[in-house]
Structure 1
Amino acid sequence: MHKMWCGAVASAEPVWHVLATDESVTLCGLEKREECEEQVQTDKLCYRCMTTLQTEMAPEA
Structure 2
Amino acid sequence: MHEMWCGADTSGEPVWHVLTADKASTLCGVEKREDARRQHATDRHCFPCMKTFQTVVESR
TM-score, normalised by the number of residues in structure 2: 0.87
The root-mean-square deviation of aligned C-alpha atoms, in Å, is 1.6
Identify the range of structure 1 (48-57 vs 27-36) with the bigger mean alpha-carbon deviation.
Answer: 27-36
CA distance in 2, matches of 1:53, 1:28: 10
Aligned residue pair count:
60
Question: Higher helix share goes to which structure?
Answer: 2
TM-score, normalised by the number of residues in structure 1: 0.86
Q: Which has the larger radius of gyration?
A: 1
Instruction: List runs of 5+ in structure 1 lacking aligned partners.
Output: none
Q: Which runs of 4+ in 1 moved over 4 A?
A: none
